[in-house]
Amino acid sequence: MNNARALFSLNDYPVQPQIIHAPQRKVLSVKNVCKSYNAQQKVLNDINFDLHAGEMVGIVGRSGAGKSTLLHVLNGTHTATSGELLSYPEVGLPRDVSGISGRALNEWRSECGMIFQDFCLVPRLDVLTNVLLGRLSQTSTFKSLFKVFSDDDRARAIALLEWMNMLPHALQRAENLSGGQMQRVAICRALIQNPSILLADEPVASLDPKNTQRIMTALREVSEQGISVMVNLHSIELVKNYCTRVIGIAQGQIVFDGHPDDLNPDVLQQLYVDEISQLH
Ligand SMILES: Nc1ncnc2c1ncn2[C@@H]1O[C@H](COP(=O)(O)OP(=O)(O)OP(=O)(O)O)[C@@H](O)[C@H]1O
Ligand SMILES: [Mg+2]
């Protein structure tokens, strides 16, 4: 376990997450990735970038640009049509995780957790159980069936909920939470898997400004723990306020990869050109 993820361990779970200033380690290399859902359209077209520990990367681009597809291809929900996804473990050689299946894919999805705009919690289950469900891929089938979790898992779920200020709601049904609270639980459920990468597909799209701020701050804290965060956003302001890097996608291709401060009007025009022209 690396330093970053050790900070999320049970025994010394920090109340205030610590910022790590160590040089960033490469965790993933995306090479020549293409994705087509059908013969007519290449939704991702030759995507290349490296992801490092502790980065908070905003993915921007107009609707239909391929942002969600990119995240789904990264965590293996959708398979890349071609290209490589090289995962760099802390020890040992990199391995290509594109095209894996079965147990290897389940393990990769734990490494590369994901949260969604609509939270994807089980409404009738309580908050604590929803978080523990994140452990299912690492739990035996028998235990999963009867939702039997170890004391360690429970303690860790409680620590995460405490960090997210959600412990008072631990025994409440998920369906009775506000949107912002549901998203905080979803983050805990993803983190209980000890991911090295956390993907977030428009996690604040349905939230009010206060909850948006809470979730973006939480994601930034996660990245400061050394976990690489990639977040699809429609707000350039949020990208500038929270992200350390931004990748701009237009028609399935990366047209910008750099610091948010360098997102100038020319780049924005290129990213949103169709939407802007449709307004006139
Ligand atoms: N499962 C699918 N089957 C077929 N086509 C799909 C599928 N998912 C996405 N697409 C198509 O791929 C393209 C990119 O979709 P994607 O959802 O990745 O865009 P996006 O950038 O996330 O857009 P938005 O900002 O609206 O969420 C779109 O043309 C979409 O219709
Ligand atoms: Mg999308």
* Nearest-CA residue for atom 31 of ligand 1: 64
Task: Look up residue 167 and give its two tokens.
Answer: 């412990």
Alpha carbons 29 and 113: distance in angstroms, whole number: 17
Alpha carbons 209 and 273: distance in angstroms, whole number: 27
Give 34's strand partners: 82
Mutate which of 67, 231, 254 for ligand 1? The one with the most ligand atoms within 8 Å of its CB, which is 67
Q: Do 70 and 47 form a contact (C-beta atoms < 8 A)?
A: yes
Quick one: average pLDDT of 54-83?
96
Query: What is the per-residue pLDDT for 46?
Result: 97
Tens digit of pLDDT for each residue in 128-139?
999 999 987 665
Share of the chain above pLDDT 90, in %: 76
Tens digit of pLDDT for each residue in 93-107?
999 999 899 989 999
pLDDT tier at 144 (50, 70, 90 boundaries)? low
200: nearest Cα among 92, 86, 71: 71
Evaluate if residue 147 carries a pLDDT over 90: no
* Nearest-CA residue for atom 7 of ligand 1: 37
| Residue 160, phi then psi, degrees to nearest 5 | -65, -45
Report the nearest atom of ligand 1 relative to the CA of 37: 4
Tens digit of pLDDT for each residue in 236-280?
999 999 999 999 999 999 999 999 999 999 999 999 975 555 545
Query: What is the per-residue pLDDT for 246?
Result: 97
Residues with CB under 6 A from ligand 1: 37, 43, 61, 63-69
CATH number assigned to the domain covering 3-279: 3.40.50.300
Report the nearest atom of ligand 1 relative to the CA of 72: 18
Exposed/middle/buried for residue 92 (C-beta within 10 Å: 0-12, 13-18, 19+): exposed
Q: How far apart are the first and last CA of the chain?
A: 53
Mutate which of 34, 35, 37 for ligand 1? The one with the most ligand atoms within 8 Å of its CB, which is 37
